[in-house]
């Protein structure tokens, strides 16, 4: 990847290491005393800590800049300072649960936000805010070598002997779980040749065939695609916008959208416990609300290469940058994340769990 993207990742890693020690101290040193918004003392220049998943560094930089300008113009010149950390979505959620003081989280999938809520750090129902808390969407695609020499068009093509596949580690990366759910869902919906619809055993067999060919599981989707772009593997399973960003940077990545794939719905939520402690609840909520505005949506599309939150529009695409998707489904079509996590896919007897056990022995 170009040096700018490598520098972005380095900055995110530095921030992740430093913010645990510094964020609370920074807030308190500037006048924050903790407690609820009615009892704390706001800082002259409030500090917002944002923890987000790995692939959205560029668009969040622009979103933050625009929000800071709007806030300053509307609040007598008050400057809001943002501290940011970027990494694998599940790792970020685990960090917040373990004490990383993020006021806002922008993660890859709903279960990672739910993990933070289950820990008691999010006290409001974040799914009841605008657009169910989802700020943008993408789709799972195949990033292939120029000219697609392995002729990869559908999920069954990923099981061909000798193929080398890159996909992130589902224990750390939200993107990895989206990839698995996309393959599982396509099989269950009867859109993968040779795999019967509504047959969990067939879906398990597909996942087994795919993961037999997985050669590297990096800790985040961003690391995975960088690994692919450095010359490793025949194909990377990844976010559509990661491929589009690479193409914009002049790299030879080619996206293949399988006939059936999942709509990646990425949520954002205020972490009430930390936002109250830092006396930034009003600003944190305002930033999350800003992410649902037209200005933000335009940036998610033009800078982040993400699709509409509206499924119909996301499926139709725009005839140019975003091709139409033949069968674009959501996790709700598969019973919802709770069922996928605890039972059908990632549960003890889930399709991926059993497939991975077979692959690893």
Give me the pLDDT at residue 257, please.
98
Q: Does pLDDT of 73 surpass 90?
A: yes
Q: Which residue has the higher pLDDT, 100 or 222?
A: 100
List, as one string, the DSSP characters of 97-147. Answer: HTT---SEEE-SSHHHHHHHHHTTS--S-GGGSGGGGEEEEEEEEEEE-TT
Looking up tokens 């917040």 gives 96
Q: State residue 152 phi and psi, 5-degree precision.
A: -95, 115
Mean pLDDT computed over 244-254: 95
Q: What is the pTM of this model?
A: 0.88
Would you state the structure tokens that stand for residue 29, as one six-digit string?
A: 């040193």
Measured between alpha carbons, how far is 317 from 329 in angstroms, rounded to an integer? 14
> Residue 104 forms beta bridges with which residues?
50, 270
Kindly compute the dihedral angle of the four CA atoms of residues 131, 134, 137, 139, in this order, to the nearest 10 degrees.
Answer: -110
HSE value, Cβ hemisphere, 13 Å, CA-based, for 341: 12
Closest CA to 111 of 86, 93, 136: 93
> Residue 87 forms beta bridges with which residues?
53
Neighbours of 319 (CB within 10 A): 8
Domains of the chain, by residue range, sit at: 47-135+266-302, 137-265+310-360
Mean pLDDT computed over 108-137: 97
Q: Where are the alpha helices (DSSP H) in 215-271?
A: 221-229, 240-248
Query: Of all residues in the chain, what percent carry a pLDDT higher than 70?
Result: 89
Q: Are 254 and 148 in contact (CB under 8 A)?
A: yes
CA distances for 12 relative to 16, 52, 63, 350, angstroms: 6, 9, 16, 34
The CATH number assigned to the domain with range 137-265+310-360 reads: 3.40.190.10
Q: Does pLDDT of 4 surpass 90?
A: no
Mean pLDDT computed over 304-310: 96
Measured between alpha carbons, how far is 38 from 96 in angstroms, rounded to an integer? 24
**Domain spanning 47-135+266-302: CATH 3.40.190.10:** yes
Topology agreement, domain 47-135+266-302 and domain 137-265+310-360 = yes
By the 10 Å C-beta count (0-12 exposed, 13-18 middle, 19+ buried), 360 is classed as exposed
List, as one string, the DSSP characters of 335-358. Answer: T-HHHIIIIITTSTT-HHHHHHHH
pLDDT single digits (tens) 139-179: 999 999 999 999 999 999 999 999 999 999 999 999 999 99
């Amino acid at each position: 990847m170009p040096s700018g993207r490598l520098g972005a990742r380095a900055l995110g890693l530095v921030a992740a290491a430093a913010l645990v020690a510094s964020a609370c101290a920074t807030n308190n040193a500037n006048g924050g005393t903790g407690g609820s918004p009615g009892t704390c003392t706001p800082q002259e220049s409030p500090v917002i800590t944002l923890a987000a998943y790995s692939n959205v560094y560029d668009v969040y930089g622009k979103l933050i800049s625009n929000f800071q300008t709007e806030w300053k113009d509307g609040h007598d010149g008050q400057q809001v300072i943002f501290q940011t950390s970027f990494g694998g979505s599940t790792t970020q959620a685990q960090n917040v649960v373990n004490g990383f003081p993020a006021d806002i989280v922008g993660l890859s999938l709903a279960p990672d936000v739910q993990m933070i809520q289950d820990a008691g750090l999010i006290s409001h129902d974040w799914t009841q805010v605008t657009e169910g808390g989802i700020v943008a969407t993408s789709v799972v695609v195949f990033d292939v070598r120029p000219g697609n020499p392995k002729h990869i068009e559908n999920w069954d093509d990923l099981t061909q002997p000798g193929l080398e596949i890159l996909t992130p580690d589902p224990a750390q990366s939200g993107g990895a779980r989206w990839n698995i759910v996309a393959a599982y869902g396509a099989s269950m919906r009867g859109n993968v040749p040779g795999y019967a619809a509504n047959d969990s055993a067939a879906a398990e067999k597909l996942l087994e065939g795919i993961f037999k060919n997985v050669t590297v599981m990096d800790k985040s989707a961003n690391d995975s695609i960088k690994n692919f772009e450095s010359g490793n593997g025949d194909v990377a399973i990844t976010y559509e916008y990661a491929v589009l960003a690479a193409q914009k940077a002049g790299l030879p990545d080619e996206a293949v959208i399988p006939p059936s794939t999942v709509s990646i719905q990425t949520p954002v939520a205020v972490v009430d416990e930390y936002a109250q402690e830092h006396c930034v609840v009003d600003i944190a909520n305002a930033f999350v609300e800003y992410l649902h505005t037209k200005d933000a949506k335009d940036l998610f599309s033009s800078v982040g290469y993400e699709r509409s939150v509206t499924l119909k529009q996301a499926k139709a695409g725009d005839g140019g940058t975003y091709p139409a998707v033949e069968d674009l489904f959501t996790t709700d079509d598969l019973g919802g994340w709770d069922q996928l996590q605890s039972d059908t896919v990632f549960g003890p007897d889930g399709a991926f769990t059993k497939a991975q056990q077979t692959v690893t022995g």
